[in-house]
Amino acid sequence: MLDTKFFLSLKNKNYIKSLDLIKKAYDFSKSKHAGQYRDDGKDYFTHPIEVAEILSNMGLDSPSIITALLHDVVEDSAVTIQDIKKLFGVEISKLVDGVTKLTKIELKFGLAQAENFRKLLISSSDDIRVLLVKLADRLHNIRTIEGIKDKRRQIKICTETLEIYVPLAERLGIIGIQSELEEKCFSVINNETRNSIQKRLDSIYSEDKINIPLIIKEIKKIAFDKKIFVEISGRKKTCYSIWKKMQTKKVGMDNLSDIMAFRIIVKKKEDCYKLLSLLHQNYTAIMGRFKDYISAPKRNGYQSLHTGLIGPKKTKIEIQIRTYEMDEFAENGVAAHWMYKNGTKFKEGIKFKWVRELLQIIEESNHPNEFLEHTKLEMYNDQVFCFTPKGNIINLPVHATAIDFAYAVHSELGNAAVGAKINNKVRLLTSELKNGDQVKILTSSNGYPDPNWLDNCITGKAKSSIRRFIRNKEVEEYKQLGTSLLRNEYKQKNKKLNFKELKKIIEKYELLDVDELLIEIGKGNIFSSEVIKSIYPENKYFNVFRKKPFIKKIFNNKKNDLNINGAIPGMAIHYAHCCSPLPGDRIVGIVTSGKGITVHSLDCFSLEKFHDTPERWLDISWEREKDILYRGKLIAVLMNEPGSLADVTRIISSINGNISNLQVVNRDINFYKFTIDLEVENLSHLNEIIAALRLSDFVESVEREKS
**Helix segments in 190-303, DSSP class H:** 191-207, 211-225, 239-249, 269-282
Q: Which residues contact 41 (CB under 8 A, 6 or more apart)?
A: 147
567 contacts 618 by C-beta, under 8 angstroms: yes
262 contacts 312 by C-beta, under 8 angstroms: no
- 419 DSSP β-pair partners: 442
d(CA 99, CA 51): 13
Q: Which residues contact 414 (CB under 8 A, 6 or more apart)?
A: 403, 406, 407, 441, 449, 462, 465, 466
Strand bridging mode 316-323 / 305-310:
antiparallel
Query: φ, ψ for residue 149 (rounded to 5)?
Result: -80, -30
Residue 18: which of 73, 66, 83 has the closest Cα? 66
Residue 513: which of 482, 469, 471, 467 has the closest Cα? 482
d(CA 676, CA 633): 6
Q: Which residues contact 248 (CB under 8 A, 6 or more apart)?
A: none
Percent of residues in the chain assigned helix, strand, coil, to nearest 5: 50, 20, 30
Catalytic residue check, 75: yes
Catalytic residue check, 76: yes
Residue 366 has a CB neighbour count (10 Å cut-off) of 11
Query: φ, ψ for residue 433 (rounded to 5)?
Result: -95, 155
Residue at 429: amino acid letter: L
Q: Which residues contact 181 (CB under 8 A, 6 or more apart)?
A: 138, 139, 142, 161, 162, 165, 166, 169
- Active-site residue (options: 27, 40, 75, 231): 75
d(CA 259, CA 237): 6
- Active-site residue (options: 3, 39, 43, 76): 76
Residue 160: which of 114, 209, 218 has the closest Cα? 114
Catalytic residue IDs = 75-76
